[in-house]
Structure 1
Amino acid sequence: MKTTWTTGALALMLTACGGADTPSKVQAPGAEESAKTKALDAGAAVLQNRPPVEALNAYLDGFHFYNGRPDVQMEAHHYCAILNEEVIQCAIYDGNVADAKLMGVEYIISGALFAGLPEAEKALWHSHVHEVRSGQLVAPGIPEVAEHALMEKLVGTYGKTWHTWHTDQDKRLPLGVPQLMMGFTADGQADPAMVRARDERLGVDSDARKAKRVDIAAPAVDAGADAWQRGNVIQIPDPTGADHQHPVEPTP
């Protein structure tokens, strides 16, 4: 069944509560905002239109890992704009508060669009079937029926995700190069402590959501997606020498 987005549904996304606060993992270096900067911010907020930002009308919370390093995992807060029935674009943050750091972007496309991609391109994308049906992908704060409809739309989609600020490694600045991220495809891959901590903080229950999503059909996953499972790992070498493991000490 194809889910159609209506103005009312999007308005519901906008007015829904986002769940409990999740602070950023790092504090960026720099002086506090001056009175002059605060005045400029306030003036811009009143006088300037921000259509692309105002179009971010859906909040999703899930988990990513570095392509080729499924053991290095992190929570990802997605703020998404639904461009049309086939394409969604999301800004990804490390928290859901005002000073959360912009970690990267995710582009989400329908299964029909994905099927038409070249095979080499498909290797950069991950499927969303498990993320949805496992209950790990959630839309905090919206009614259950609305979230269920959203997940029906997302289950057959594919995402391409790049992280540019690796705050999960305590990076206080966006250092190094973008890294390709992937999503989980089977039970037992996501760190249960990570999922449990997220659930407790946002007041959600992944297991309960999993049970309630059994009626969401699992479409066949295109063989070109999730290429890491077949040993085809694509990643940008980092000239800074970072191997994307958690460092012992925070780095600047």
Structure 2
Amino acid sequence: MAKHSGILWILFVAVIGSAACGGRNTDSNVEAPGDEKPAKDKLLETGADLLQDKSPLRHFNAYLNGFHFYNGNIRAQMEAHHYVHQLNEDVYQAIIFDGNGPDAKLMGVEYIITERLFKTLPEEEKKLWHSHHYEVKSGSLIAPGIPDIAEHELMEKLVSTYGKTIHTWHTDQQRTLPLGSPMIMMGFTKDGQIHPQLLTERDKRFNVSTEENKKEREDIPMPTVDPMANAWERGELRQFIITERVDSALHKHQGPVH
């Protein structure tokens, strides 16, 4: 039980501090096409909110703000709002949005695992994952709204973890619908990679300082990063591509349908 006490405290203060997590500090990148929600739908939503159980969603109780880029195109970068659920000591899952307001668009998901589990993955699988060492140590990954001591403890846990991220709605490209192929995303690993304007604008909105965060986290040990992670650094790119395939088995004559 002792090993869970720290993260339980973090999640507790995350919930308590949720009102201060930024509110509508970051608007969505796009407006989805469609007519205004009718009163009947709003009434149904209110009823569903009161009557239906939403147990899985209630456990997404920690909020992280960071940055991603498309695997294979480091110049295409975006801010990402993570709402995180810790499944157990070694596995987290996150829902990713393009903002933190009520109109935020669901961009994708991220699965986060500890170093212990990452070591068990096949070598080819590891190439799909990115490390979090730089995001934590650089101060660019933040947990808005929780006390500094709780954020520091959370970062101590995340610094040696690895993430597998897939975006399905590319609102950074001003796509008003989730069109095109899902994309594997990566995290930054060195100074000078992220667009300075992204950091500056984010820090201003949340009233935080990436540089101050970096200083505060100097005492967090830098982990040894598995050489198979962050494969893009070695030019080994893995990405989804939509291709046309015809399965001959589906076209075999099955006889008349009665």
Taking structure 2 as the reference length, the TM-score comes to 0.90
**Equivalent residue runs for 1:65-76 within 5 Å:** 65-76=69-80
Q: Give deviations 1:33-65, integer Å, cap 9, x for gaps.
A: 111000000000000110111000100000000
**Equivalent residue runs for 1:178-193 within 5 Å:** 178-193=182-197
Greater C-alpha radius of gyration: 2
Instruction: Give yes or no for contact 1:3–1:152 (8 Å, CA) kept in 2.
Output: no
User: How high is the sequence identity, in percent, across the aligned residues?
Assistant: 55
Match of 1:200 among 198, 204, 208: 204
Question: Which residue is 2:59 aligned to?
Answer: 55
Match of 2:90 among 86, 89, 102: 86
Question: Which residue is 1:118 aligned to?
Answer: 122
Question: Which residue is 2:241 aligned to?
Answer: 237
The letter for the 2-side match of 1:11 is F
Runs of 5+ consecutive residues of structure 2 not aligned to the other structure: 244-258
Higher helix share: 2
Question: Which residue is 1:244 aligned to?
Answer: none
Question: Which residue is 1:245 aligned to?
Answer: none
Question: Which residue is 2:251 aligned to?
Answer: none
Q: Give deviations 1:182-229, integer Å, cap 9, x for gaps.
A: 000000000011110000011111000000000000110001100000
CA–CA separation in structure 2 for the residues paired with 1:111 and 1:228:
19
Question: Which residue is 1:25 aligned to?
Answer: 29
What is the CA-CA distance between 1:238 and the residue it aligns to?
Answer: 4.8
CA–CA separation in structure 1 for the residues paired with 2:214 and 2:167:
27
Q: Which moved more, 1:11-20 or 1:94-103?
A: 11-20
Question: Which residue is 2:219 aligned to?
Answer: 215
What is the CA-CA distance between 1:13 and the residue it aligns to?
Answer: 1.1
Question: Which residue is 2:149 aligned to?
Answer: 145
Q: 1:9 to 1:42 in 2, by over 3 A?
A: same
What is the CA-CA distance between 1:4 and the residue it aligns to?
Answer: 4.9
What is the CA-CA distance between 1:9 and the residue it aligns to?
Answer: 2.9
CA–CA separation in structure 2 for the residues paired with 1:44 and 1:234:
40
Question: Which residue is 2:171 aligned to?
Answer: 167
What is the CA-CA distance between 1:237 and the residue it aligns to?
Answer: 2.2
Instruction: Give yes or no for contact 1:19–1:141 (8 Å, CA) kept in 2.
Output: yes
What is the CA-CA distance between 1:169 and the residue it aligns to?
Answer: 0.1
Q: Give deviations 1:113-156, integer Å, cap 9, x for gaps.
A: 00000000000000000000000000001100000000000000
CA–CA separation in structure 2 for the residues paired with 1:87 and 1:31:
39
RMSD: 1.4
CA–CA separation in structure 1 for the residues paired with 2:242 and 2:121:
27
CA–CA separation in structure 2 for the residues paired with 1:5 and 1:85:
11
CA–CA separation in structure 1 for the residues paired with 2:206 and 2:6:
25
Question: Which residue is 1:37 aligned to?
Answer: 41
Instruction: Give yes or no for contact 2:9–2:150 (8 Å, CA) kept in 1.
Output: no
Instruction: Give yes or no for contact 2:70–2:183 (8 Å, CA) kept in 1.
Output: yes
Q: Give deviations 1:56-105, integer Å, cap 9, x for gaps.
A: 01000000000010111000000000111100000000000011000000
What is the CA-CA distance between 1:8 and the residue it aligns to?
Answer: 3.5
Instruction: Give yes or no for contact 1:3–1:153 (8 Å, CA) kept in 2.
Output: no
Question: Which residue is 2:247 aligned to?
Answer: none
CA–CA separation in structure 2 for the residues paired with 1:4 and 1:162:
31
What is the CA-CA distance between 1:10 and the residue it aligns to?
Answer: 1.6
